[in-house]
Amino acid sequence: MAELEVGAPAPEFELEGPEGPIRLSDYAGKALVLYFYPKDDTTGCTKEAIDFSSHLDAFAAAGAEILGVSKDSVASHAKFAAKHDLKVRLGSDPTGAVTEAYGAWVEKNMYGRKYMGIERSTFLIGRDGRIAALWRKVKVPGHAQAVLSAVQSL
């Protein structure tokens, strides 16, 4: 699969959410920050979700919504959100189809062991449904603010 680039149409998706299916088309006419993270309730993923949640009002003022995606279940997402008072919407991708469509399912290497996993990555989808910006191999500190700046410049 070819890697997504700025200007490419965002792949359509359908994820599972607590309120029912979540589709890209639900965000038509709005900017969407779609971020992929490895696992609920782990240190980096928790910090990232809290950072995005703390900037939620600023994202909304700039006309953008935020959706975090992992392969964790809807029940796991609900528990994660409640435990950390998260305000961002979380979508479950149990089959990994959406994660793969966005190129976030990659080979990783830890302590010499190779395995497949979710690469922490973020896609800013513009109001036109195209990729406006993307970040791969995200480092959490300062990331939410960097994405907010990009949203504000749309």
Per-residue pLDDT tens digits for 71-93: 999 999 999 999 999 999 999 99
For residue 106, give the H/E element and its range. Answer: strand 105-110
Under DSSP, the state recorded for 148 is H
pTM value is: 0.93
Per-residue pLDDT tens digits for 94-149: 999 999 999 999 988 888 889 899 999 999 999 999 999 999 999 999 999 999 99
Q: Residue 98: which of 10, 20, 2, 7 has the closest Cα?
A: 10
Going by their DSSP bridges, the two strands 121-125 and 31-36 should be labelled as antiparallel
CA geometry: angle 129, 36, 100, nearest 5 deg: 75
Choice among 10, 22, 34, 45 that is catalytic:
45
Read off the amino acid at residue 64: A
45 given a catalytic annotation: yes
In 10 A of CB 107, how many CB atoms?
9
Q: 143-152 and 43-54 are packed helices; what angle lies between their axes, rounded to 10 degrees?
A: 40
